[in-house]
Amino acid sequence: MKLKGKVALITGSTRGIGREFAIGFAKEGADVIINGRNLEKAKAVAEEVKSIGVKSIAIGADVSLSQDVTRMVEEAIQSLGRIDLLVNNAGVNPFILEAEKIKEEGWDQVIDVNLKGVFLCCQAVGKKMIEQGGGKIINISSVVGFLGEQGFLPYSVSKAGVMMLTRVLAYEWSKYHVTVNAIAPGFIAGGMNTPILNKEILVSGLTQQVPLKRLGKPEEIVKIALFLASEDSSYINGTTIVADGGLTGYRPVGFIDLIAEMMKRG
């Protein structure tokens, strides 16, 4: 119960790893604010969280819209009194395209949610944390923010931006006792990768790129977030923890090339 008495806001927590964050934080005693663009789905997860024995509310909001973010934070404070922990998990990657084929609206969609949305949530919640005397922010980045990847230009740029946003905010807000860190997962068996998990040949190809020869488990990322949210990480600030099974230790085959090769094989 390392988070007992804390209030956590987790964006994009209606499904996938965001939902796993919500459940994991609740099991450690935190009251949890569930967020997603679909309010009904958010309410369903909030009920799951309540069954663990903590408080939970659902707030529908699009993190790429400043008015939605402001309303979400105000509703959270009114309902639960404060926000001690923020996990910026909401993110999108709606297409895999070479750079010359990306349309402006596609670029904007990814950057608006993955980077601007993280900034808007950090800013709105950060102001409250400064007023209350401290807090912890955890931003979800990705190893493609380090490596880059063919077909993932806006996603890679957005996740690299999240890491720099994390560093600068950590410098600026340390004096207010607000720590800001990030997690950069590699290939995880869940979340955005769920649609490919039933394609055995593709999963096999991906795992061959990882020195540990397997995909990561969602619970392995949740444990890192719990560490960063607890007092166990009290001297960690402005860093990005990479959890990729060793993937960043060498340059893997491009994802686009890998998909094409796997499809050729059947």
Q: Where are the alpha helices (DSSP H) in 64-217?
A: 66-80, 104-111, 117-132, 144-147, 153-173, 200-207
Contact between 151 and 97 (Cβ < 8 Å): yes
Catalytic, out of 155, 171, 176, 235: 155
Give the chain's end-to-end CA distance (angstroms, integer). Answer: 48
**155: annotated active-site residue:** yes
Cβ partners under 8 Å of residue 48, min gap 6: 19, 22, 23
**Exposure pattern of 109-124 as b/e (b: 16+ CB <10 Å)?**
bbbbbbbbbbbbbbeb
Q: Are 69 and 121 in contact (CB under 8 A)?
A: yes
Question: Is residue 221 a contact partner of residue 176, using CB atoms and an 8 Å limit?
Answer: no
Catalytic residue numbers read 155
